[in-house]
């Protein structure tokens, strides 16, 4: 979706490099984008753990979006250092490769689990966020700005609850971790749009947070399988009942852009007052917190069904 959107919006782009360690996905992508038409599209096999390969891939690149991560919460609890090597050391490799090249704009993708983390995955992403935002302090005279985009569950992403429920409803049983659980929801296109907006508008060091709706896990179960039984299985290790994107402690450094927020670095070139004056924004009230449980915007059962049909499965139906 990101590559398609970039190619559609910037048809004269000279070079777009897809850097990943998944050769199958790169092959499948090459079948979707005819090389004879998209002459600037390139595929590099590589891993963010390999700093030399990163530097080679960044030759002639001026803009970078960092989306590489290990992200499954239970797997992180069982394999902590593997997540550290990709999500933290890999992030630092990206930062250093950008500083050593001609890259000018960098956006790193984060997660709501990085706010007040209680699991290893969230802790690694918080460290990654700090690495990217703090890198602006050592940019020197380089023309480079590094920022972060943080959002909630991407609808339909691998391992997320909606495709899991869609699969499990065939068995007639939907496992509910906790009846009180809520989650943020963002579509893939909304996430892509925010990244592109941040690339054009970031001053460096911000963590951009979109204003997006929440849903109740019980409403999702009703939307997907109203005739299914609901089995309460308890929360998994490292899970929260409600996800957070801005904590009360963050509020003293957070400004309101209207459709989204920006958390400013606690140490750096901007103060909240100077940033607000320069960008025409306002600070949020002291103590403000943004979490999926107290979010004023919730998706209804019908909203969820509409989103599933629109973004995941146009043939999706439920019994009368």
Cα dihedral 127, 129, 134, 140 in deg (nearest 10): 130
Sign of the CA dihedral with 135 first, then 137, 138, and 141 last: positive
Q: Whose CA is closest to 161, among 134, 182, 138, 140?
A: 182
Return d(Cα 85, Cα 50) in angstroms, integer.
10
Beta strands in the chain (DSSP E): 16-20, 41-45, 63-66, 105-109, 145-149, 153-154, 173-176, 182-186, 207-210, 214-216, 229-232, 244-246, 254-256, 260-263, 282-283, 290-291
Q: Please tell me what DSSP assigns to residue 298.
A: B
Are the C-beta atoms of 139 and 102 separated by less than 8 Å? no
Of 91, 114, 72, give the one whose Cα is nearest residue 263. 114
Annotated catalytic residue, options 71, 113, 125, 240: 113
d(CA 75, CA 77) in angstroms, rounded, equals 5
Q: Per residue in 183-195, is it b (16+ CB within 10 Å) or e — as a string?
A: bbbbbbebbbbbb
14 is annotated as an active-site residue: no
Give which of 60, 119, 78, 94 is closest to 238, Cα–Cα: 119
Are 260 and 195 a contacting pair, CB within 8 Å? Answer: no
Active site residues: 113
């Amino acid at each position: 979706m990101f590559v398609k959107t970039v190619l559609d919006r910037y048809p004269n782009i000279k070079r777009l490099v897809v850097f990943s360690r998944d050769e199958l996905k790169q092959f499948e992508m090459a079948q979707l984008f005819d090389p004879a038409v998209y002459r600037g599209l390139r595929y590099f096999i590589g891993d963010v753990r390999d700093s030399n390969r990163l530097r080679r891939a960044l030759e002639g690149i001026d803009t970078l979006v960092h989306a590489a991560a290990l992200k499954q919460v239970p797997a992180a609890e069982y394999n902590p250092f593997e997540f550290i090597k990709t999500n933290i050391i890999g992030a630092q490799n990206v930062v250093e490769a950008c500083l050593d090249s001609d890259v000018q704009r960098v956006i790193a993708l984060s997660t709501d689990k990085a706010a007040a983390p209680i699991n290893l995955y969230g802790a690694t992403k918080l460290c990654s966020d700090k690495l990217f935002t703090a890198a602006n302090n050592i940019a020197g005279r380089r023309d480079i700005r590094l920022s972060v985009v943080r959002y909630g569950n991407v609808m339909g992403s691998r391992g997320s609850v909606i495709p899991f429920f869609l699969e499990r409803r065939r068995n007639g049983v939907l496992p509910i971790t906790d009846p009180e659980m809520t989650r943020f929801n963002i579509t893939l296109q909304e996430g892509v749009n925010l990244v592109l907006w941040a690339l054009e508008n970031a001053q460096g060091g911000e963590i951009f947070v979109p204003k997006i709706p929440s849903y109740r896990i019980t409403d999702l179960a009703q939307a997907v399988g109203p005739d299914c039984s609901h089995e309460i299985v308890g929360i998994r290790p490292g899970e929260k009942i409600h996800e957070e994107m801005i904590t009360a402690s963050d509020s003293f450094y957070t400004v309101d852009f209207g459709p989204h927020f920006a958390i400013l670095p606690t140490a750096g070139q901007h103060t909240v007052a100077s940033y607000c004056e320069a960008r025409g924004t306002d600070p949020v009230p002291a103590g403000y917190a943004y979490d999926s449980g107290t979010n004023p915007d919730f998706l209804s059962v019908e909203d969820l069904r509409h989103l599933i049909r629109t973004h995941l499965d146009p043939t999706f139906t439920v019994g009368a």
